[in-house]
Amino acid sequence: MSLENLILLTGRTINQGVALEGGKTTKENVRAAAICAFDKDDFKKLDCLAGTPVKVSTAFGEVIVYSTISEEGPHPGIIFIPMGPWSNQVVNPSTQGTGTPTFKGMKAKVEVLKNGKVLDALDLIRQLKEA
């Protein structure tokens, strides 16, 4: 199952900040930042369980992260990935002269994966180096 024409937002979260206290390479960091949060009604359309790996694709790249439902948002049609190595795979790298990539507003597609594997931060970076 997949959803198209979603809007991707990224940003910092409290859970992410707490997890980073233990280090960028911990399982806690993966659980806090390698996620894609959905509106509960959008998530129902995916027909999967929370925690199922999903592939998020934009015009700028793709990444596999864990799916999750957020009771506090995002709103229908919007997905959220915390800022970090996972979201960096799918954001617009153009800084438009500001020195900061575009972290919000990319059109995205999400596909449920039967056999997808979410990489930890080091493996994700190694994969990029090999590409």
The reported pLDDT for the residue numbered 60 is 95
Cα distances from 26 to residues 18, 39, 86, in angstroms, run 12, 27, 14
- Predicted TM-score of the model (pTM): 0.90
Q: Read off the CATH number of the domain in which 94 is found.
A: 2.40.40.20
Instruction: From residue 90, give the alpha-carbon distance in Å to each of 1, 2, 61, 72.
Output: 20, 17, 5, 23
Enter the DSSP assignment of 119: P
Q: Which residues of 36-65 are buried (b: 16+ CB within 10 A; e: fewer)?
A: bbbbeebbeebebeeebbbbbbbebeebbb
Contact 69, 75 (CB under 8 A): no
Q: What is the mean pLDDT of each run of 10 residues along the chain (131 residues)?
A: 94 84 83 94 94 97 95 86 94 81 90 93 87 67
What is the distance between the alpha carbons of residues 59 and 100, in angstroms, rounded to a whole number? 18
Q: What is the pLDDT of residue 39?
A: 94
| pLDDT at position 21 | 81
The total number of structural domains in the chain stands at 1
Give the domain extent around 75. Answer: 2-130
CA 78, CA 117: separation in Å to the nearest integer?
Answer: 23
